[in-house]
Amino acid sequence: MLRYDWSLTEIKAIYSQPFPDLIFQAQSVHRENFPANVIQRSTLLSVKTGGCPENCAYCPQSAHFDTGVERHGVLPRDFVVARAKEAQTEGSTRFCMGAAWREVKDGKDFDAVLDLVRDVRALGLEVCCTLGMLTDDQALRLKEAGCYAYNHNLDTSPEFYGKIISTRTYEDRLRTLRSVRKAGITVCCGGIIGMGESLNDRLGLLMQLASQNPHPESVPINALQRVEGTPLADQKPIDPLEFVRTIATARIMMPKSYVRLSAGRVEMSDETQALCFIAGANSIFAGEKLLTQSNPGEDRDRALINKLGMRFVEVSAVEKPHKDTHMLIAN
């Protein structure tokens, strides 16, 4: 049964149980809802990079910090289409385009992104966008252009949020998520672990994510990728077992959502990633680069999946619309 009313006490009891019990519970929930050994891949491309007016303390693209990330305006269509084709050839079923904007503004740049959405959709890929805040009307225009998913993260608990970002509010984020939902676009919404948050903040994030009805279809769980020049550059690395506990708890609370093991994989051992998969993560970002930061390349991922005897999803939900898209795998 899907639940939207988890209390912090209940979540803490799940998260804090003996590790073997937690993993067993998460695996059981996972197997009831998804094939056990299959991972879906998305490829990211930053179509507009850097110079963002927001001050998200983790982000290399904020104009408030000097991180050395090279800025560029919206990329040309042929360049983006070529990258999307490459991603498809490498086996990704979703292509996610990111823009370092506080919010979408109607006009030339948004029109250019809508063209990119149409082009990538025409290749038979699931298109995801992450462009900052949206109005109802902009969400509808994205949907019309063929956008399948919209990524907009809550990042952390409402209580800790103000320590990380002061240029927009939690309510701003929730409003955009409602616009996305209303437009009939699927929701990709998660957060970041390892920003110095308390356990309650971490669990508070999960509570917020799971209080959305319906649950977000995908839930990216990022491990902070520490970037020189950002205020969080010197955070201590997250304990891998705490990270696995977070993934397992997300899986138990949102049984039918894709839990995506997101940023931070480049610093994770094979063993940690394997534990995350066992804990119910069933999606990753593929390719050498996330938006601006590094990610394990295709070779390392393929070697890991082979070593684990697992498989990648091969067919996207838009190419073969089917209720159980996760069952569409090549053998």
- Tell me: does residue 54 bind ligand SF4 (CB under 6 A): yes
The question of whether 276 is a catalytic residue gets the answer: no
The whole-angstrom separation of Cα 94 and Cα 77 is 17
| Binding residues for ligand SF4 restricted to 72-101, rule: CB under 6 A | 100
The whole-angstrom separation of Cα 236 and Cα 90 is 34
Catalytic residue (choose from 129, 147, 188, 189):
188
Catalytic residue (choose from 251, 260, 265, 276):
260
The whole-angstrom separation of Cα 275 and Cα 297 is 19
| Least distance to ligand DTB, CB of residue 96, Å | 6
The question of whether 129 is a catalytic residue gets the answer: no
The whole-angstrom separation of Cα 150 and Cα 139 is 9
The whole-angstrom separation of Cα 146 and Cα 126 is 9
Q: Three-state SS for 26?
A: helix
Chain centre distance of CA 59: 15
What separation, in Å, do the N-terminal and C-terminal C-alpha atoms of the chain show? Answer: 31
Token duo for residue 182? 């209303």
- Tell me: does residue 291 bind ligand SAM (CB under 6 A): yes
- Tell me: does residue 145 bind ligand SF4 (CB under 6 A): no
Handedness of CA 56, 294, 126, 93 (dihedral sign): negative
Token duo for residue 264? 């931070």
Among 58-66, 70-78, 106-114, 299-307, which window interacts with ligand SAM (CB under 6 A)? 58-66
- Tell me: does residue 132 bind ligand SF4 (CB under 6 A): yes
The whole-angstrom separation of Cα 118 and Cα 35 is 31
Which phi-psi region, left, alpha or beta, contains residue 150 (left: φ > 0; alpha: ψ -120 to 50)? beta
- Tell me: does residue 128 bind ligand SF4 (CB under 6 A): no
Report the interface residues with ligand DTB, using CB under 6 A. 44, 60, 96, 98, 130, 151, 153, 190, 220, 222, 225, 262-263, 290-293
- Tell me: does residue 204 bind ligand SAM (CB under 6 A): no
- Among 29, 69, 126, 132, indicate the residue that binds ligand SAM (CB under 6 A): 132
Report which of 161, 43, 53 is spatially closest to residue 100, judged by C-alpha positions. 53
- Among 22, 52, 113, 134, indicate the residue that binds ligand SF4 (CB under 6 A): 52
Q: Whats the size of the chain, residue-wise?
A: 331
Closest CB to ligand DTB among 274 and 284?
284
- Tell me: does residue 225 bind ligand SAM (CB under 6 A): yes
Residue 62 interacts with which of ligand DTB, ligand SAM, ligand SF4, none, CB < 5 to 8 Å by class:
ligand SF4
Among 55-63, 176-184, 266-274, 315-323, which window interacts with ligand SF4 (CB under 6 A)? 55-63
Count CB-CB contacts under 10 A for residue 55: 18
- Tell me: does residue 59 bind ligand SF4 (CB under 6 A): yes
The whole-angstrom separation of Cα 55 and Cα 272 is 31
- Tell me: does residue 43 bind ligand SAM (CB under 6 A): no
Residues lying near ligand SAM in the complex (CB under 6 A): 58-59, 61, 98, 100-101, 130, 132, 152-153, 155, 192, 222, 224-225, 227, 263, 291
- Residues annotated as part of the active site: 52, 56, 59, 96, 128, 188, 260
